[in-house]
């Protein structure tokens, strides 16, 4: 059987990764001194806001686009639940 496209050149994928280390952008940085509980609280609030926005927008859509956005909202909600559980584990007295 004839293959119309040639195989890609053989290379070591780790060689290119090691040669050019990733330097993260400093445009949006989080203070490394912020404690874990504060980070999780902000993440929880951001996810809650994203969930509300996605559900509000889904109200304007129909059909498969609405279903897709509601699925995204559900994934956001699951992330929010996971963050809330992590917060509960940090401070179980509340």
Q: Among candidates 45, 54, 55, which has minimal Cα distance to 83? A: 45
Report the chain's mean pLDDT, rounded to a whole number.
86
Q: What is the pLDDT of residue 21?
A: 79
21-66 tens-digit pLDDT? 788 788 888 888 999 999 999 999 999 999 999 999 999 999 999 9
- pLDDT exceeds cutoff 80 at 74: yes
The SS3 call for residue 20 is: coil
Q: What does the alpha-carbon distance between residue 89 and residue 40 come to, in Å, rounded to a whole number?
A: 11
């Amino acid at each position: 059987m004839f293959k119309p496209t040639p195989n890609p050149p053989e290379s070591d994928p780790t060689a290119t990764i090691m040669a050019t280390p990733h330097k993260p952008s400093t445009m949006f940085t989080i203070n490394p001194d912020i404690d874990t509980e504060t980070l999780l609280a902000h993440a929880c609030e951001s996810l809650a806001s994203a969930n509300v926005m996605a559900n509000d927008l889904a109200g304007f859509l129909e059909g498969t686009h609405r279903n897709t956005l509601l699925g995204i909202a559900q994934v956001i909600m699951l992330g929010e639940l996971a963050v809330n559980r992590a917060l509960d584990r940090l401070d179980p007295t509340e």
